[in-house]
Chains A and B, each alone.
Chain A
Amino acid sequence: MTKAAKPFWKKSWFVPTVMYGLLVVAALALLFLADWATIQRNFFQEDIARRMFPEVLTIGAKNTIIYTAVAFAVGFVLALGLALMKLSPIGPYRWFATSYIELFRGLPALVTIILVAFGLPLAFGWRIPFGTAGKAAFGLGLVAAAYMAETIRAGIQAVPRGQMEAARSLGMSAPTAMTYIILPQAFRIIIPPLTNELVLLIKDTSLLFVVGTTPVSKELTKFGRDFMNLNANATPLTVIALVYLAITLPMTSLVRQLEKKAGKGR
């Protein structure tokens, strides 16, 4: 009795062939189906791109970075407080932190920004100072705090319990042990997820257009969109996409270095 020949789909060359085939088909489809002339005309017009400089950097990128920085700073401080409250032995603190986190994590950032920018003045007659940057700090900061609080809490809980016990047995008070023993270790753990938060925040600043913009307060996306509509061409989108990458890529690689350095101590 002879051994039956293997069907072709069980042959060892079959799966790799299909895999490579799919790649090639996808690449060719992109190459042939895309209308390159139209793409070039709509997304890569050099003269329009040229006209965006230097304002795309001196206004757009600058504001995006400022809004991100203030929102991250406010968010981080709030988040640290919330994370400690959530781990507190005192019930009402925990309840407050939990409600805060659930509320602001559950609301779209856009809604929070509108509520902060328009709702606060309507309700209390109090306008947020420092223009758009103030609204970024409050509106986006409140949202970022909710996400970062959970990250920080997870980081604190990831530090082995023995660390706290050892610190306490050496005579440190609980707050001292938290500040000098637990938090430094927790932050090393949460650098990657915090970077994630920061990158998300950079992009969320594009939502700030709803609070109104003046020519000097536009962030990157609004700047690009206005330029796009002025010229009836999508090239500005390509430019701002590249500027966003020019901000995020060095930042994430910097954080990677930081992470490596922090990892050495472990």
Chain B
Amino acid sequence: MKHKWTTSLALVVALALVGAGCGDDDDVDADAFGLVSAGTLTVCTDSPYAPMEFEDADGNFTGFDIELMRAIAKDLGLETAVVNSGFDPITSGLAMESGECDIAAASITITDEREANIDFSDQYFSGDQSLLVKAAGGMNTLASFAGENLGVQTGTTGEIYANENAPDATIVSYEGPGDLLTALVAGEVDGVLQDIVVNGEAALNDDSLSIVETYPTNEFYGLAVQEDGKEALLTAVNASLAKVRADGTYDDIYNDFFK
């Protein structure tokens, strides 16, 4: 009996080889931008990061970044889809490399380190840093944090700034601004160093919190695409960005979220 099924085994192998050889490469995209989903600009973000990106009452993504991307996509004649990928996969480029999205809009500060992994559009927003504390506390300067807990968000320029400028503080990294604020209110950290737009929103919503220092970093937010292969998209996005800034769309969106 044995020889019989070894023969059939060989037959199966042969068939499988033929089958495997017939595998087709269909990753050629007709679209000039090489979009992951034709006709749609798929945008990675890291929500919630109010007021830049968050979910509205109906569960749809909105915020300054998101609405700006919608305006740009509209200008390019594309639909918009938003993917909440988290921040680290964006700055490392993994979210775009793995085909999760075409472009990321997540209040990403343009830095040289990040340029190594991703390509940035023209800048579109100021990325200054700030220090948020409980108003009742006595921690009013970054220098007063020596030996104390200072909260930052993992992988952000706030974390980098804290490491460089508050080396004596115990820097505790959290996953998102929500965790950071809870940790601040709970007393796990005595201050939060992060982008001024987000700290400003927190101080606005909670009277017990206040911004005691701001740090002009002369850094700006940019939109991010993967390092290679999306040059056409980036050029088109930059053109659209200039257009929405010139025609007042940018200001309208700004007023929706900051006035």
Q: Which residues of A contact B (CB under 8 A)?
A: 12-13, 16-17, 20-21, 24-25, 28-29, 31-33, 117-118, 121-122, 125, 127, 209-215, 225-226, 228-234
Are A232 and B94 within 8 A (Cβ)?
Answer: yes
Are B92 and A230 within 8 A (Cβ)?
Answer: yes
Give the tally of cross-chain contacts (CB within 8 A).
Answer: 95
Contact with A127, one of B20, B155, B187 (Cβ below 8 angstroms): B187
Q: Which residues of B contact A (CB under 8 A)?
A: 1, 4-5, 8-9, 12-13, 16-17, 19-20, 23, 88-89, 91-94, 97, 116-117, 151, 154-155, 170-175, 179, 182-183, 185-189
* Chain A hits for B170, CB < 8 A: 214
The prevalent SS among residues of A at the interface is helix
Could you show 28 A-B contacts with beta carbons less than 8 Å apart?
A13-B1, A13-B4, A13-B8, A17-B9, A17-B12, A20-B9, A20-B12, A21-B8, A21-B12, A24-B16, A25-B12, A28-B13, A28-B16, A32-B20, A118-B183, A118-B186, A121-B186, A121-B188, A122-B186, A125-B187, A127-B186, A210-B175, A212-B151, A213-B154, A229-B88, A230-B92, A232-B92, A234-B94
* Chain B hits for A230, CB < 8 A: 92
* Chain A hits for B93, CB < 8 A: 232
Are B9 and A21 within 8 A (Cβ)?
Answer: yes
User: When A121-B187, A121-B188, A229-B88 are in contact, do A214 and B171 touch as well, CB less than 8 Å?
Assistant: yes
What is the distance, in angstroms, from A236's C-beta to the closest C-beta of chain B?
11
Q: Which residue of B lies closest to A25 (CB)?
A: B16
* Chain A hits for B116, CB < 8 A: 232
Q: Which residue of A lies closest to B12 (CB)?
A: A21
Are B91 and A28 within 8 A (Cβ)?
Answer: no
Are B1 and A228 within 8 A (Cβ)?
Answer: no
* Chain B hits for A211, CB < 8 A: 188
Q: Which residue of A lies closest to B88 (CB)?
A: A229
What is the distance, in angstroms, from A220's C-beta to the closest C-beta of chain B?
16
State A209–B13 Cα separation when bound (angstroms). 47
Q: Which residue of B lies closest to A33 (CB)?
A: B23
* Chain A hits for B19, CB < 8 A: 25
What is the distance, in angstroms, from A261's C-beta to the closest C-beta of chain B?
43
State A187–B8 Cα separation when bound (angstroms). 52
* Chain A hits for B92, CB < 8 A: 228-233
User: When A33-B23, A212-B174, A229-B91 are in contact, do A20 and B16 touch as well, CB less than 8 Å?
Assistant: no
What is the distance, in angstroms, from B8's C-beta to the closest C-beta of chain A?
4
Contact with A13, one of B5, B88, B175 (Cβ below 8 angstroms): B5
Are A209 and B175 within 8 A (Cβ)?
Answer: yes
Are A210 and B179 within 8 A (Cβ)?
Answer: yes
What is the distance, in angstroms, from A146's C-beta to the closest C-beta of chain B?
24
State A16–B12 Cα separation when bound (angstroms). 12
User: When A121-B186, A122-B186 are in contact, do A232 and B12 touch as well, CB less than 8 Å?
Assistant: no
State A234–B95 Cα separation when bound (angstroms). 12
Are A212 and B183 within 8 A (Cβ)?
Answer: yes
Which 3 residue pairs of A and B lie closest in terms of their CB atoms, listed nearest first? A21-B12, A229-B88, A232-B92
Q: Which residue of A lies closest to B154 (CB)?
A: A226
Contact with B23, one of A32, A125, A213 (Cβ below 8 angstroms): A32
User: When A33-B20, A230-B92 are in contact, do A212 and B5 touch as well, CB less than 8 Å?
Assistant: no
